[in-house]
C-alpha cells in the first residue's frame, strides 16, 4: 500500500497539503527576508538581483 504522507519539518503531513504549507511559510517570511538583506548588505543586494 502506498503512503499518502510526506515530511514537513518534523511532522508527517498529507502529500496534497504540503505545497500550500510550503507556500504559507514562504509568504510569511518573504518580506522580512528582503528587509534583512537590505540591512545586512546596505541595500546592495537589490543591485545584485537586477
User: Hey, which of 1-5, 6-10, 35-39 has the most confident mean pLDDT?
Assistant: 6-10
Identify which has the larger pLDDT, 6 or 2.
6
Residue where the block lists cell 518534523: 10
CB 45 within 8 A of CB 38: yes
What local confidence, expressed as pLDDT, does residue 38 receive? 86
According to DSSP, residue 2 is labeled -
Residue pLDDT, tens place only, 12-50? 999 999 999 999 999 999 889 888 888 888 888 778 766
The Cα 43–Cα 35 span in angstroms is: 9
Domain residue limits, the chain: 5-49
The Cα 16–Cα 11 span in angstroms is: 14
The Cα 2–Cα 11 span in angstroms is: 18
Residue where the block lists cell 538583506: 37
Amino acid at each position: 500500500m502506498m503512503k499518502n504522507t510526506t515530511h514537513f519539518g518534523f511532522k508527517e503531513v498529507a502529500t496534497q497539503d504540503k505545497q500550500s504549507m510550503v507556500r504559507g511559510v514562504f509568504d510569511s517570511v518573504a518580506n522580512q527576508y528582503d528587509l534583512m538583506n537590505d540591512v545586512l548588505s546596505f541595500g546592495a543586494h537589490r543591485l545584485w538581483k537586477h
